[in-house]
Structure 1
């Protein structure tokens, strides 16, 4: 019988190679709002939401002052950061707008709504929230039917007025 990973399994953290640690911390902490938990010498930092030991590790061990990885190469496509509520995603979007930080995309996937951008090292970042499971789109057979449609950004911003 094939092994199935336990349903409670989660991806605990991601560790990113960056060229400039201060620049990466400015993006992830100052703009996105993560908290610096610990510096590991001068070449690595561990950041989190809510006091967890770390959700994201940032390091320059092999990448200090290096150019971004080529787009057309194997590697990480993006890191996805899950917000608890739609309003939290709206706050993140408003902060990005106020900072004039460019998005690379904004999509409604039926199961979730997502903003896409690149960090200063051109690592892909997805900021998203999941709709409640009972709202997920299903096909006629009851199977999940995700899609990609443009995200209504004005509707998202209206969350801030509630």
Structure 2
């Protein structure tokens, strides 16, 4: 019998469950993720917290380990750049931006990637947090766009946009599809295009 040599990945694949961060700012991190992505503590103690915003027992774990030290040049170091959360409704996504803005929580950059419109925030430890909405409303279609589109191949980062301009256009009655089209055409480009590196907080 010939052995199957094409076992590059498991047939029965696990699904992604959670991300864990070591933190010097446990309570601030819990408060941030509650405000920005609606996560609530399943358990919040002195040495850690476990948070979820769906049926899972936790999606983010925060460990306040002894002996932790602050990172150096975190915004330009290798490692995790950001985690992402997705709204399935464009209006809810814009509403979330406006709610956070009233509390002084603003994204450090916003990009229309083609398959998603995404706003990037920064947690108290300097980790990126993406809040996105799928432009197709269908993962199979957005996946096909990434796989087959010449536009995505030519420009996988996408186009920067000013979220205030997007919110204003939504208030004027434009829908998701038209705002996405205009964003990709550069109509909402900010006056100062931000750096895609994480801003250095430490």
Task: Check whether TM > 0.5.
Answer: yes
- Residue 82 (str. 1) matches residue 86 (str. 2): yes
In structure 2, the CA distance between the partners of 1:26 and 1:106, relative to structure 1 (3 Å rule), is: same
CA deviation profile, 1:53-93 (whole Å, cap 9, x unmatched): 111111111565x4345323222111111222222321221
Matches within 5 A, 1:51-66: 51-62=55-66, 66=69
- Computed over aligned residues only, the root mean square deviation of the Cα atoms, in angstroms, reads 3.0
| 1:111 and 1:137 in contact (8 A); partners too | no
Partner of 1:151: 161
Question: Aligned partners of 2:67 and 2:89: how far apart in 1?
Answer: 35
**Structure with the largest fraction of helix:** 2
2 CA distance for matches of 1:6 and 1:109? 30
Rounded Cα–Cα distance in structure 2 between residues aligned with 1:31 and 1:81 = 10
Task: Give the TM-score, by structure 1 length.
Answer: 0.79
Query: Residues 37 and 53 of structure 2 are in contact (CA less than 8 Å); yes or no, is this contact kept in structure 1?
Result: no
* 1:10 CA drift (Å): 3.4
SS across alignment from 1:10? coil
Range 49-58 or range 127-136, more displaced: 127-136
Q: Would you say 1:16 and 2:21 are equivalent positions?
A: yes
Flag structure 1 segments of 5+ consecutive residues without an equivalent. none
Unaligned residue ranges in structure 2 (runs of 5+): 1-5, 176-202
Q: 1:62 to 1:73 in 2, by over 3 A?
A: farther
TM-score by length of 2: 0.65
| Residue aligning to 1:43 | 47
| Partners of 1:36 and 1:130 in 2: CA distance | 27
Closer/same/farther in 2, CA of residues 10 and 70 from structure 1, 3 Å limit: farther
Aligned residues: 158
* Runs of at least 4 residues off by over 3 Å: 4-10, 133-139, 154-157
Q: Tell which structure's C-alpha radius of gyration is larger.
A: 2
Tell me the residue number matched to 1:27.
Answer: 32
